[in-house]
């Protein structure tokens, strides 16, 4: 097994790929791939006739779409846009899943250093980006955190369970 691992590492080094370039490339591609995945899912839904053209029955929240839309909406409302951070994204997603599993928002801190966490939950049939932003806007400390110019890196997590959607936004200050 170690021989195979050594052979793979040697082949990767011959191609000129290092850990740093792979991680940098992947972290730059994640937001683009998220948007493309959302677009593909939307187009596939329309083409297969799964969309609800009469508007009577609300479709469930598509978590990836909401995450992408929330990032775009936060950037739209801020004077200084935020940068998507893959590590914060993973941390925020873990927290959103933990909140959904526990059935409520966790009061634990987001982590060491200068990381700030916003959390909210809504009934899934009412869960929209605008509604989450409005919840945070009504709470002055949360709104100030959303708009603070030092909060420059962001990760967003969305999880849904038992008719409730949980959103977690984590910022890292620069």
In the chain, where the domains are located? 1-59, 61-173
CA proximity to 74, closest of 173, 172, 169, 174: 169
Contact 135, 68 (CB under 8 A): no
- What CATH code would you report for 61-173? 3.40.33.10
What sections of 48-127 are H helices per DSSP? 63-77, 86-102
Please tell me the distance from the alpha carbon of residue 44 to that of residue 75, in angstroms, as a whole number: 28
Q: Specify the pTM.
A: 0.62
Instruction: Identify the sign of the CA torsion 28, 30, 34, 39.
Output: positive
User: CA-CA distance, 112 to 146, in Å (whole number)?
Assistant: 19
- Do 157 and 168 touch, CB atoms closer than 8 A? yes
Q: Residue 57 pLDDT > 50, yes or no?
A: no
Percent of the chain with pLDDT over 70: 61
pLDDT 10s digits, 108-166: 555 555 668 999 999 999 999 999 999 999 988 888 888 999 999 999 999 998 899 99
- Taking alpha carbons only, the member of 121, 130, 129, 128 closest to residue 161 is 121
């Amino acid at each position: 097994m170690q021989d195979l691992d050594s052979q793979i590492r040697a082949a990767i080094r011959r191609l000129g790929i290092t850990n740093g370039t792979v991680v940098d490339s992947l972290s730059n591609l994640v937001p683009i791939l998220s948007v493309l995945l959302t677009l593909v899912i939307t187009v596939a839904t329309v083409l297969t006739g799964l969309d609800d053209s009469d508007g009577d029955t609300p479709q469930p929240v598509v978590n990836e779409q909401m995450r992408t839309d929330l990032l775009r909406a936060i950037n739209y409302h801020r004077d200084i846009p935020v940068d998507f951070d893959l590590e914060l994204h993973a941390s925020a997603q873990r927290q959103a899943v933990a909140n959904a599993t526990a059935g409520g928002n966790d009061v634990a801190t987001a982590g060491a250093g200068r990381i700030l966490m916003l959390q909210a939950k809504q009934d899934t049939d009412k869960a929209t980006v605008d509604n989450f932003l409005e919840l945070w806007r009504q709470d002055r400390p949360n709104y100030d955190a959303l708009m603070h110019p030092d909060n420059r890196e962001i990760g967003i997590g969305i999880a849904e369970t038992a008719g409730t959607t949980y959103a977690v936004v984590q910022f890292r200050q620069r």
